[in-house]
Amino acid sequence: MATDSPTPSVSADFHVFDTTLRDGAQREGISFSVADKLATARLLDEIGVGYIEGGWPGALPKDTEFFARARTELKLRHAVLVAFGATRKAGVRVEDDPQVRALLDAETPVVCLVAKSDVRHVRDALRTTLEENLAMVADTVAFLVAHGRRVFVDCEHFFDGYAADPDYGVQVLRAAFGAGAEVGVLCDTNGGMLPMGVARVVADVRSRVEGRLGIHCQDDTGCAVANSLAAVEAGVTHVQGTANGYGERAGNADTFALVANLVTKMGLPVVPAGCLAELQRVSHAIAELANIAPDDHQPYVGTSAFAHKAGLHASAIKVSPELYNHLDPAVVGNDMRILVTEMAGRASVELKGRELGVDLDGHADVVGTVVDRVKVLEADGWSFEAADASFELLLRSQLPGAPAPLFELESYRTTVEHWGNGVVVSEATVKIHLHDDDGTVERVISTGEGNGPVNALDNALRQALVSRHPELADVSLADYKVRILGWKGGTSATTRVLIDTTDGVGEWTTVGVHDNIVEASWHALVDALTYAVRHR
Ligand SMILES: CC(=O)SCCNC(=O)CCNC(=O)[C@H](O)C(C)(C)COP(=O)(O)OP(=O)(O)OC[C@H]1O[C@@H](n2cnc3c(N)ncnc32)[C@H](O)[C@@H]1OP(=O)(O)O
Ligand SMILES: CC(=O)C(=O)O
């Protein structure tokens, strides 16, 4: 058996149980490798959850391998590893059931068993008697306990079953506890519950059954986190969730929102000190392993979770961030951001200036000019909320003593050639004037090739500038996004280009807008290289 002796959750009276590696993996589109699972388990351990359900050994070869490798490769500081499986098959002796054997072979200190607790499922899905199902629960729990395992029991479809026949749900729990189970988990398997109903059922069950109760909520009504918290309020002391709410269909209760809410809103110290500040980092790292883009708008951990766009919000935040934040974002490892858009007011620009390190004290006129300019530009299709570098250049250009542009454009030209053999080549020529401090002007003509006109323009312009600004040699385009703003209609629609640029250390985003895609790209490119020269 695994010999780790992990620290239990700080509140020994409360379990946070994460099932990303079992139920989270049931989400469409996720296919964790064993290495991904090991890495995910380590990350979950860093946020201090008490239990990590690793998968179903015996059912999935990958999960069997995960538990085998976990014995030597996983050193958990906080969490206890859990193997998941079902109660024995109907009509089979528990010691003869290979899947139950596989649970022992996983050698985890804890096993979580899924058991039927809805009479309709027993009759129609298991196709057995209500008595045999109770025996399956009791036999399997007793067998595992006799082999030294702590056992939790997930009572599948508990809430739907309770509506149909509450006495049977109670009998299943009593069978589990009677055989030595430590937790009876009430599962909203179809995810159809609302918080009021969950609270009522939990209170009722608590009045009828002795033993620790848990909650497992699917998110089909969008209420998985709320349902879980309602269950906690009603007395459960074991809560199951998955990272970023990954899970079957609409997903599960999000472990990060659960933990953050339990600690910061309900005052339950369910993770060790210091772990809460890891939530955002761990959420994003697990999203990478799952190969799912992080949800920017995810509560607590999304990059927009504390981003403020409305001018009125910014004006109050300038007085005190608490006025428009439910929590200090740093508590969960996140940051507040101010977005400057057409919805900005003076306070938005002042706060954004502070965030960017631009001193606007004594420049109320500049602030006013920039607010007006942004509103006009955004009405024309520009968007600065994702293009901080372009916004910063705009802001600084309005301040007294602002540096002159890097160059004066004489002209540029790009071509796209499709050769007879199917090869497509782009070439660009830029002609610019570089001004020296002593007033002399150098005319530079430069040509570049690329796999497209924008790439060729980028190469030509950088080559023209690099003798003056050698730092541009390390700069390259990281991403290029185009959005056609259809509201002008037809082929004359306005094009917005966002360019991400990197120097291998940092990354910055610039924007350009024009009816012509190459000209829109040119604006974004010039900002990208100007920003590189001014800031790197
Ligand atoms: C609510 C949940 O999310 S629970 C977790 C569900 N997760 C998964 O199903 C993922 C892993 N599952 C698998 O790999 C496969 O389904 C296996 C290996 C478990 C079973 O595969 P198979 O033996 O081919 O059976 P199949 O999937 O068709 O049916 C499930 C069997 O388990 C039985 N079963 C379902 N729940 C339980 C239970 N709680 N206790 C005992 N048996 C159960 C069903 O009655 C059915 O039995 P049958 O084969 O005699 O008809
Ligand atoms: C156990 C489980 O995943 C469920 O009932 O939804």
d(CA 95, CA 88): 9
DSSP β-bridge partners for residue 82: 53, 110
d(CA 300, CA 263): 12
Name the residue type at position 74: L
CB burial of residue 121 (10 Å; 0-12, 13-18, 19+): middle
Which CATH superfamily does the domain covering 408-535 fall into?
Answer: Alpha-isopropylmalate synthase LeuA, regulatory domain (3.30.160.270)
For the chain, domain boundaries: 15-290, 307-397, 408-535
How many angstroms separate the alpha carbon of residue 54 from the centre of ligand 1? 17
| Beta carbons of 194 and 220 less than 8 angstroms apart | no
How many angstroms separate the alpha carbon of residue 521 from the centre of ligand 2? 50
| Beta carbons of 460 and 446 less than 8 angstroms apart | yes
Range 15-290 classified under CATH 3.20.20.70: yes
Spatial CB neighbours of 236, under 8 Å, sequence gap ≥ 6: 186, 202, 213, 214, 215
Q: What is the pLDDT along the chain (536 residues), one digit of tens a residue?
A: 443 433 433 466 899 999 999 999 999 999 999 999 999 999 999 999 999 999 999 999 999 999 999 999 999 999 999 999 999 999 999 999 999 999 999 999 999 999 999 999 999 999 999 999 999 999 999 999 999 999 999 999 999 999 999 999 999 999 999 999 999 999 999 999 999 999 999 999 999 999 999 999 999 999 999 999 999 999 999 999 999 999 999 999 999 999 999 999 999 999 999 999 999 999 999 999 999 999 999 999 999 999 999 999 999 999 999 999 999 999 999 999 999 999 999 999 999 999 999 999 999 999 999 999 999 999 999 999 999 999 999 999 999 999 999 999 999 999 999 988 889 999 999 999 998 878 889 999 999 999 999 999 999 999 999 999 999 999 999 999 999 987 555 556 899 999 999 999 999 999 999 999 999 999 999 999 999 999 86
Fold matches, 15-290 and 408-535: no
Residue 165's nearest CA partner among 122, 109, 212, 215 is: 122
Which ipTM score applies to this complex? 0.96
Take atom 6 of ligand 2 and give the residue whose Cα is closest: 189
Q: Which atom of ligand 2 is nearest to the CA of 155?
A: 5
125 Cβ inside 6 Å of ligand 1: yes
Write the DSSP symbol of residue 254: B
Q: Which atom of ligand 2 is nearest to the CA of 185?
A: 1
Separation in Å, CA 298 to CA 251, 280, 456:
13, 10, 39
Q: Which ligand is nearest to the CA of 242?
A: 2
154 Cβ inside 6 Å of ligand 2: yes
Q: Which atom of ligand 1 is nearest to the CA of 115?
A: 39
